[in-house]
Amino acid sequence: MNTEHQKVWLITGTSKGMGLHLTKLLLSLGHTVIATSRNVSMLEREITTHRANLYPMALDITSDLEVKKCIQKAVETFGRIDVVVNNAGYSLVGSMEEMSDEEFRQTMDVNLFGTVNIIRQVMPYLRRQQSGHIINISSNAGYVGFEKAASYNAAKFGVIGLSEALAQEVKDFGIKVTVVAPGQFRTEFMNSIHYVKNRIDVYGVDEAEHLWSQFSGKQAGDPEKLVKILLQLTQLEHPPLHLLLGPDTYELVTQKRRQEEAEWEHWKEITLSTNFD
């Protein structure tokens, strides 16, 4: 690989799933990967080849101070960060009534505020170098609300909104932003789902847990294709701000948009009636 095309990547959530697939691909191509995870030992067990450019770092992304120290150390070591992938996350399954305050907030801390911490702490370096690409991993659950997934929906909807705002803030500094919404890909994500501890029978969380556990390993999406697309995004002069990944996501989101437009049109008369006469 031509050294001028080698980049320094900072990726969260790399010990399994999409983050691990992406880390392995990048290392095989000669890129440098600052691979963060709460479980660095698991990451190091998984990476058995092309380790020369691997820089594993234990990181709790919910700690703004830890994030600040991690990014500072990474820049001191490599002189720059070219691509940031905010990938770490998990889903909590349960109804709003069943979720404890702690369960809801932890989901938001990891899926939304962890991303915010990374962005806030990396921006001074990206702005100074006048380059960079921030890739935020959302989900089709960032566009479509699903029952028994309210905290995950709230976080992933938030990731899309903050990505849109961020893109406007940083475009004059040569920094690109893409928010990616994958559907169901065959990773360990299903096995990492958290379920509410307090369960009320009428909401059917036991049945949902059985369904999701049976679905694990049968997802249609190929994670190797997904991570190759992420790499391709960083090679584009004008990458998309929004990218849906997977036929399931495309169908869900476009159907939701059609339903929204029909609803907006149905209530248009009331919508337009609010100005002073």
pLDDT digits (tens, 9 = 90+) for 173-209: 999 999 999 988 787 666 778 999 999 999 999 988 8
Per the annotation, the verdict on 138 as an active-site residue is yes
pTM of structure: 0.94
pLDDT attached to residue 186: 81
Q: What's the whole-number mean pLDDT along residues 205-219? A: 79
Alpha-carbon gap, residue 127 to 63, rounded angstroms: 22
**Fold entry, domain 3-271:** Rossmann fold (3.40.50)
pLDDT at 217: 65
pLDDT for 212 equals 73
Whether pLDDT at 137 is above 60: yes
Cβ distance 58 to 40 under 8 Å?
A: yes
Predicted local confidence at residue 190, as pLDDT:
64
User: By percentage, how much of the chain surpasses pLDDT 70?
Assistant: 97
pLDDT digits (tens, 9 = 90+) for 238-255: 999 999 999 999 999 999
Residue 1 has pLDDT above 90, yes or no: no
Of 93, 113, 215, nearest in space to 158 by CA: 113
Is there a contact between 190 and 136 (Cβ–Cβ < 8 Å)? no
Catalytic residue among 138, 139, 151, 163: 138
Give the DSSP letter of residue 29: T
The answer to whether residue 156 is catalytic is yes
Name the strands in the sheet holding 83-86, side by side, starting at the edge strand that comes first in the sequence.
Answer: 54-58, 32-37, 8-11, 83-86, 132-137, 175-182, 242-245
Query: Which pLDDT score, from 0 to 100, does residue 49 have?
Result: 87
**Alpha helix ranges (H) inside the chain:** 17-28, 40-46, 64-78, 101-108, 114-129, 150-170, 205-215, 223-233, 247-266, 268-271
Q: Catalytic residue, from 152, 163, 176, 203: name it.
A: 152
Catalytic-residue membership of 176: no
pLDDT of residue 39: 86
Mean per-residue pLDDT, 141-154: 96
What is the pLDDT at residue 240?
Answer: 98
- Indicate the average pLDDT of the chain: 93
Instruction: Check 24, 148, 156, 176 and give the catalytic one.
Output: 156
pLDDT classification of 220: cutoffs 50, 70, 90: confident
Question: Any idea where the domains of the chain sit in the sequence?
Answer: 3-271
Placement of tokens 């980049």 in the chain: 7
Question: What DSSP state is assigned to residue 94?
Answer: B
Do 86 and 135 meet the contact criterion of CB atoms below 8 Å apart? Answer: yes
pLDDT digits (tens, 9 = 90+) for 19-59: 999 999 999 999 999 999 988 888 889 898 889 999 999 99
Predicted pLDDT of residue 262? 98
